[in-house]
């Protein structure tokens, strides 16, 4: 008899079982770089193991959705569904990623450069 093949990370549970059959999160605003922070004072009782682990990971500080997916060895799509559930229940809060800075006005940059040259 051939021994069963081992799976990476030893996971035998299918992603659709972890997400209770859902393929899409209840919120469409979760980017890979959205920061997650665990809410203080929320009881973790009644949460599944993956959701509990997400809340524990985000307790000490902020982690991105991509980082949480990496720590859990889950696909990002599954992680988004779980995080959306935790957002809905109040266990997690999000911080939007910092938007890219707008390009500066060339005239202002030239004035700064001229001011620095006069001081040197």
Q: Where are the domains of the chain?
A: 9-119
The pLDDT value recorded for residue 12 is: 61
The pLDDT value recorded for residue 11 is: 55
The pLDDT value recorded for residue 83 is: 92
Whether residue 91 contacts residue 56, with contact meaning beta carbons closer than 8 Å, is answered with: no
pLDDT in tens, the chain (120 residues): 444 555 555 556 677 677 777 777 777 778 888 899 998 888 888 888 899 999 999 988 899 999 999 999 988 988 999 999 999 899 999 887 667 767 778 888 888 899 999 988
User: Is the pTM of the predicted complex or chain greater than 0.85?
Assistant: no
Strand, helix or coil for residue 92: strand
The pLDDT value recorded for residue 14 is: 73
The pLDDT value recorded for residue 1 is: 47
The pLDDT value recorded for residue 16 is: 65
Angstrom distances, CA of residue 17 to CA of 5, 80, 81, 95, 105: 21, 14, 12, 28, 52
The pLDDT value recorded for residue 96 is: 73
The pLDDT value recorded for residue 56 is: 92
């Amino acid at each position: 008899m051939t021994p069963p093949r081992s799976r990476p990370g030893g996971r035998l549970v299918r992603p659709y079982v972890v997400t209770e059959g859902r393929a899409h999160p209840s919120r469409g605003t979760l980017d890979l770089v959205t920061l997650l922070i665990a809410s203080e004072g929320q009881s973790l009782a009644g949460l599944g193991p993956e959701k509990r682990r997400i809340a524990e990971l985000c307790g000490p500080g902020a982690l991105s959705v991509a980082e949480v997916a990496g720590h859990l060895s889950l696909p990002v799509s599954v992680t988004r569904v779980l995080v959306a559930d935790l957002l809905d229940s109040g266990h997690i809060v999000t911080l939007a990623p910092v938007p890219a800075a707008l390009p500066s006005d060339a005239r202002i940059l030239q004035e700064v450069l001229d001011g620095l040259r006069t001081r040197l």
